[in-house]
Each structure stands twice: as C-alpha cells, then as structure tokens.
Amino acid sequence: MVGTKMIETLHTFTSGDFTGLMPEIILCAFVLLISIYDFMSKNKDKEIVSYLTQIGLLATLISVLSLIGDTAAGDKAYVAYNGMFVLDNFAIFLKAVVLMVAVMTVAISHKYNKEAGYESGEYYTLIMFAVLGMMIMVSGGDLISIFVGLELMAIPCYFLTGVFKKDSRSIEAALKYFLMGAFSSAVLAYGISFVYGVIGSTNLEAIASFFDLAVIAKAKAGVGMAVTPEIMSAASAELATRLSNPIFYLVLVLFAAGFGFKIAAAPFHMWCPDVYEGAPTPITGFMSTAVKAASFAIFLRVYATGLFALHVNWAFTLGILSALTMTVGNFLAVTQKSVKRMLAYSSIAHAGYIMMGLVSIGIVTFDGVTLSINRIDDGMASVLFYLVTYAFMNLGPFIIIMMLRTKRNSGEMMADFHGLGKRAPILAALMLLFMFGLTGLPPTGGFIAKYYLFYAAVKANFTWLTIVACVNTAVSAFYYFRLGMVMYMYEPKIDEEINASPKAVHAVLYICVLVTLWIGIFPDKFFEAAKHSLMRLKYLL
Amino acid sequence: MDHPYLPILILMFFAFIFTVVTIIMSDLARPSKPNAEKNSTYECGAPIFTDARGMVSVKYYIIAMLFLLFDVEAAFLYPWAINYDKETLGLFGFVEIVIFIAILLVGYFYAWRKEAFEWES
Amino acid sequence: MDFVFYLFGITGLVSAVGVVAFRNPIHSALALVAALFSTAGIYILLDAEFLAVLEVIIYAGAIMVLFLFVLMCLNIRELKALPQFNKKIRPFAIGITAIFLVDMVYLITKSQFGVGELATGKYTSEQVAAIGSNAKALGQVLYTRYLLPFEAISLLLLVAMIGAILLMKEGLGRK
C-alpha cells in the first residue's frame, strides 16, 4: 500500500473528555430529541415543547453546577480534545449564567409568541442551539473552537430575530443582523488566520507561550541544555522583536472589530438598535444579556490569556472605543421615543462600561529584558460581576415591556408608560427599580457593579476613562429617570386594561428583581465567586 | 516549470484563446444585416411569452440552500473517505462520521417533514 | 511560477472589483465566479489542491447557485434602478477603505510570519507528498485534532437548515 501513513495520532479519550463535556452532550441530546419530537408531533400548540426545552436547559444547568466540585479544588481544569475545549471555573460561571437566562427566556416566551401568532417549536430549539454555541464558545481553548462556537451562537440569533416573519421590522432586523454579523465573523476569521500565520497555532496556550520568555529561552537552548545568560539575553531580544511584530496591530484591529461587533461596541454598534427593536421582546432580552455576556466572556478569555502580553498595544485603543461606545449609547438613548430602542442604546452604553473593566485587567511593561505582567484581579472580576448583574437587571425591563403589550398597543413606546404608576403600580415600581439599577444607584446590584468597574479603571491608570464614565452615568440618569417621571407624573394615555400574564412571567420578573437587589445588598459572595472563577482561568498570565 | 497542474493551465489558456478568437473571427467574417426579427430572442423557435427577468418562486431558494448545506456536508466526507483505512482513522473515524451524519440526518428529516422537498403545493 | 501567481492574482483582484462595481447583479455574480476560480488557482500554486477543488465545488458551485436563485427571486430591473452607493457616504467609504488598505499592505510587508516555535509544523510539502495527498493530510488533522469543532460544525449546518426552512415555511406548506 502506498501512502497510508498517519502523521497525527488518533485522539485518545480521557475521562475529562466526557466529564468536562457532559453538559454540552446532555444539551445536544435534548436539542436533537426535542427537534425530532417537535417536527413529528401534530400538536399545533407548542407549550409542551417549551416545557421540554426548560427541562433540557435545567438538566444542563444541573450538570454544569455538578462540575464545580471537580474544578474548585486546586488548579484543576479539564483540558480536553487537544486543547480545543477548556473547562475551568470561568467557563462554569458563564455557562451557569447563560443557562439561567435561557431558562428564563423560554419560560416567558410561550404566551407572547402565541398571542403574536408566531408559534413554532423551532423558536425553542434555536434558543437551545444558541446556548450550546455559547457553551462551546466560553469553553474554547483554541481560536478555531471559539469561532465555531461563536457562529453556532450567532446563526440561531439571526433566525430568532426574524421569527416574526410577517412583521417587516423583524425581517429587516434579521437581514441587517445577518449581513453585518456575517461580515464581522469574516473579519474575525481573517484576524485568526494572521495569528496562525505568525505563530503556527491557534491555541490560546500556544499564543501565550509565544510571548513567554522562559519558553523562548528553552527553545533557544535546545533539548536538555542549560539556559546560559547569553541565551537568556538572546531570548529577550527575540521577545522584543515578537512583541513589536507589526502584524499584531492588524490582528488586534481585526479582533476588536470582530468581537466589538458581537458586543455592540461603537463604531460597530449600528445593527444593535434596529435588531433589538425588531426582534421579539423575549429574544431582545436574551440577546442583550446572555449573548452579550458570552461574547464579553470570550473577549476576556482571548485578551487575558493569549493576547495579554500585548496589553500595551490594545488597552489604549479599546479604552477609546469604550469611551466612544458609552458616549454614543447614552447620548442617542436620550432622544428615543421607543422604550425598547432606548434600552437598546442603553445596552450599547453598558457595553462601553464593561469594556472599561476589560482594559483594566492589568498593567504590562516590557523593560527590554523581561515582560512583567501585573494583573489587576479586581478589574477582571469586575467584568464578570457586571455581566451577571447586568444580565438580571436588564432582562427585567424587557419582561415589563412584554407584559404591557395589549391588543392595540405594542407596550414598547414611551406612551405605553404614561401614567403606569396608576395603571399598574407594581410594574411601575419594579421598572423604576430596574432603572435605578441601570443608572447605577444603590440599593441595586448596578451600583456595586459600577463601583467595582470604576475602582478597577482607576487602579489601572485609566482615570480619564473613569471621568468619561462618570459624566456618562450622569447623562444616562437623565433618560432613565425621565421614564420614571413619565410613569408617575403623567396621566395615562392608554385606557386599555393590562392583560394578566402567566405565573411563569411573574416568577421570572421577581427572580430578576430579587437577584438585582440581592447582589446590591450582599455583593461579597457574588464578587468572590466572580474573582474565584477568574483566578482559575486556564492559561491566565 | 514542471508543476503537475501545468497542463491544466495550458488547457485553460487555449480554451480562452479559442473562445476569443472564434468570436472575433466570426464577427469579422460574417455579413452584418440585422433586422427586428433576427435581433429577437431565439427560444427553440417558439414565441417568447414572458420577460426573462421575471421573479421566480422562493421555492428555488430552499432547493439551493439545501443543496449548499448537503454539498458542504459531502465536502467533509472526501477527506474522511480517503483516510478510512485500518492503518489510519479506522473505527474511530467511522464513529466520528456516523455522529456527524446522524446530526445532519435530523435536518434531512426535518426538511422532509416540513415539505421542503415538495414542489407542488 | 511567479508569472502564474500574478496572473491569478490580477484576474482575482480585477474580478473582485467587478463584483462590487457592476450594476447588473448577474454580471457581479459572474465576476464572483471568476474571482473564486482565481483563488482556486492560487490554492493550487500553494500545493493545496483539495482546497482548490472545494473552492470550485462549494463556492463557485453551490454558493453561486444559491446567489443566482436568490437573484431570480428578486426583481432585477428594480435592483438595477437602485443607486449603488449612498452618494453622501461614498467619499467616506472609499477613504476608510483606502486607509485600511494602505495600513494593511504596510503592516503585512513589515511583518515577520512563521516565527514561533510551532511555526514549522508537521505538514511540509514533502511530508504531505509522503502521506499520499493533500486531502489525506487534511483529513488526518481534521478528524483527530479538530474533532470537537468538526462535530460542532454538523450542528451549525443543522441550524442553518432549520432556520432557512423556518423562515420560508409559509411559502411551502400545503394550504
């Protein structure tokens, strides 16, 4: 036989390959079985599918949480499938958040879709596919698996945006989202190709060791040889050329554009208001919390592991993007007449705040000999902490918008909120609470989350950014409180009764309220959890 | 210049030249006396009944989309097929590809069930 | 060999510009076919025959069919009447593109590629020839090292199928 040689070795499965991947395997099995059940059953009412989806997501959540014990002790993390998949506490933390948001989204969707006349089982399976993509993505140890996970997250979202297919806004939003999203994915893939071209690997560990002085010195010395001072200085020189390799500027620009699109950072935010407005409200809530959290998580994972050494090159640029993002978001939010659109702009602004934590993950200096990385652990933890807090306090307002929908009114416009204090005192009070949270006022979690972010930014010498953020917070207070004023000081414009919502919707709303308040009053546990999970981030420099 | 694909390049070159030369030659050699009848679209001798640029049914889109997706799936099978050998991928690769195809089979039955393959409706 | 590279490079670039510049979408589609074939030619020069074949089968084949069918679903006369660029943003768009292009060319020419310890991998041209073929080498790495992303891709294709049919179903089901 000619040419039957095998260069690669077959993958030998370890227990970690199955244990670590168990949540994904469970979710995958559920999503396939639910898909089959959905298209085989003749039942037009999809309530059962919605319950099955919740069961599947909860089962996955339990299996994710059961993994905590395995990775909490020591520095143990599963690295499976040749470094493609990393299960560390960071991934578990994010997976738990995403799954919780997904369960809540599914729980509130059924009646909403039924009333709109767009009931479909695919709606639920697509949500599960998106969650599966996020789980693969936040566990990605290699840019390839991150990219595949990112796409598996993004493609269901394009479809979910357009699921109300006779509503021209929904279809327009889906098309815009898809075109821009596809383009940004291409940009990201292009960036990844350059990383591969320079380093010869897309693995995050390999990228980190590319900038590791000890690794370079060892390679220079050869196998089993001692590292002499001459070799050490040669290695330092090599590291200096690697750090100043101009291609990394291009890589960083392409990555910033690719990831920046997913988190809706200015100037890549253009899709966001239209998509958030056009998408079904539960999906808007899902996209502005779960998708955003997962995208930020992967942004953080890539930048805090492989690309941390290049911090000097990207921190300032991302700082400027952060300032731009929050300013654009807040100033445009002021002029909006639709509450849903206002929240979309506010979500852009919040992406700006979170990016502030991203640039403050540490201070990296290269003195010509060694690369010293001073991590600011609070900075990194503040990103995660903000993501959790934001997930709950931003889902709440969307649920309220959903509950305000009546036969004739969408519930999305400012007019729907006129005099809400009289029409539905409880909903108005909760909305006000969420607005407090989004502004960053105690006693909500929003205050603590913002406090940690600002603190980290000051610590990382980004004082100017903190000042910009403070000014922005003041601007944001204007439109958040205008909504409060509209609810309490204006007379109702709409005389329709507010429909009774199912118990599940109320339950989810109260969970959001409780978590927002709980984080605000007892933040320590949450912050410790965020910090703990970050310190276990695999390949953290 | 001993690249194994050189003959194909040469073939492409001649194909290109042949096309260009034929068109130019016939243009130079033929008499040119156009009239309305000659300039009209020739459709197997039958009279034209609509404009060629009309809109067609969106069903074509589904057909093209499914073709594309199964084409991509098939593309993943080539490198597997030539590696399917006891000395290389073997049983490991077999199980792997079975999972891959099984997942896509769900999509196939989905399309079937949703009548995406039905033309008449 | 250089000559062939430039031949494919130039035809690729010219037809890529054509894709954007032609007013008739069918012409753009044909220019895209030319661009894809040129890319396939460059892949062959890089000893990546399998990728070249895939480029032709999937891109110039299946994706072009999809594009043309989509064009057939649209009203081309109306499309042609639309302005191609918003006149106001045209200078802005061209300016940004030009700056980005200059930057990219500058950075790429100044950069060093393949410098890491891992940069020279196992798959040199000689090694690939020793295994048998390009497609074989690709398969060996795809089905072992990239096992997880490979299986995830089947889910990706499934999602694309479900989503496309979901959005089109109205026009398909029996009334």
Residue spans per domain, chain B = 58-113
> Nearest-CA neighbor of A249 among A195, A301, A199, A302?
A195
Residue in chain B closest to A34 (alpha carbons) equals B106
Q: How far apart are CA A154 and CA A204, in angstroms?
A: 22
C56 touches chain B (CB under 8 A): no
Cis peptide before A443 (omega within 30 of 0): yes
| Other CB atoms within 10 A of residue B11 CB | 10
Inter-residue long-range contacts of A304-307, CB under 8 Å, 24+ positions, other chains counted? A304/A361, A304/A380, A304/A537, A304/A540, A304/A541, A305/A204, A305/A205, A305/A207, A305/A208, A305/A537, A305/A538, A305/A539, A305/A540, A305/A541, A306/A204, A306/A205, A306/A207, A306/A208, A306/A539, A307/A207, A307/A252, A307/A255
Q: In this complex, do A3 and C136 lie within 8 Å of one another by their Cβ atoms? A: yes
User: Is the confidence at residue C173, as pLDDT, over 60?
Assistant: no
DSSP state at residue A494:
-
Which candidate in C172, C174, C175 is best for mutational testing of the B interface (most B CBs within 10 A)?
Answer: C172
Q: What is the pLDDT of residues C58-69, one digit of tens each?
A: 999 999 999 988
Average pLDDT value for chain C: 86
Confidence of residue C155 (pLDDT cuts 50, 70, 90): very high
Contact A163 C166 (CB under 8 A): yes
Q: How many helices (H) and strands (E) does chain B have?
A: 4, 0
Distance from CA of B117 to the nearest CA of C (A): 9
For residue B46, give the 3-state DSSP assignment: coil
The per-residue pLDDT for B1 is 57
Q: Which residues of chain A have pLDDT under 50?
A: 1-3, 73-74
- Å between B121 CA and nearest CA of chain A: 19
A-chain CB neighbours of C132 within 8 Å are 2-5
Q: Does A172 touch chain C (CB under 8 A)?
A: no
From C76's Cα to the closest Cα of chain B, the distance in A is: 6
For the cut 70, the answer to whether the pLDDT of residue C172 exceeds it is: no
Angle of helix A292-304 versus helix A143-161 axis, rounded to 10: 160
Calpha distance A400→A148 (Å, rounded)? 34
Say if the ipTM goes beyond 0.90: yes
Which residue among A84, A162, A197 sits closest to C113, beta carbon to beta carbon? Answer: A197
Chain B: nearest CA to A34, how far in angstroms?
11
Taking CB atoms and an 8 Å cutoff, what residues of chain C touch B78?
50, 135, 139
Please name the member of A10, A11, A32 whose beta carbon is closest to the beta carbon of B103.
Answer: A32
From chain C, pick out residues whose CB is under 8 angstroms from the CB of B19: none
First to last CA, chain A: 48
| Nearest-neighbour CA in chain A from C102: distance (Å) | 12
Closest CA to A383 of A287, A289, A453: A453
Residue C4 touches chain B, beta carbons under 8 Å: yes
Mutate to test the interface with B, among C5, C57, C69 (most CBs of B within 10 A): C69
Token pair for residue A112? 């909403």
Amino acid (one-letter) located at A48: I
- On whether residue A74 sits in a domain, the answer given is yes
The partner residue sitting opposite A84, judged by closest CB among C136, C141, C149, is: C149
**Residue-level pLDDT at A70:** 62
- For chain C, the domains span 1-74, 120-175
Contacts of B54 (CB under 8 A, 6+ apart): none
Give ∠ CA C118-A199-A182 in degrees, rounded to 5.
130
**Domain with A88 in it:** 19-539
Q: Residue C135: list chain B partners with CB under 8 A.
A: 78-79, 82
Rounded Cα distance between A22 and A428, Å, is 42
Q: Which residues of B touch C69 (CB under 8 A)?
A: 56, 60-61, 63-64
Determine whether the interchain pair A11/C121 forms a contact, defined as Cβ–Cβ distance below 8 Å.
Answer: no
Is there a domain that residue A2 lies in?
no
Contact A39 B92 (CB under 8 A): no
CATH fold group of domain C1-74: Four Helix Bundle (Hemerythrin (Met), subunit A) (1.20.120)
Structure tokens at A320: 């400027």
Chain B interface mutation, best of A1, A2, A10, A18, highest count of B Cβ atoms under 10 Å: A10
Minimal Cα–Cα distance from A201 to chain B, Å? 21
What pLDDT does residue A173 have? Answer: 93
**What tokens appear for C122 in the block?**
């196992």
Q: Closest by alpha carbon to A430, among A508, A365, A361?
A: A508
- Smallest CA–CA distance, residue C165 to chain A, in Å, is 10
Question: A4 — contact with chain B (CB < 8 Å)?
Answer: yes
Give contacts of A5 with chain B, Cβ < 8 Å.
Answer: 87
Whether the predicted pLDDT of C175 surpasses 60: no
With respect to residue A9, please indicate whether it lies within any of the assigned structural domains: no
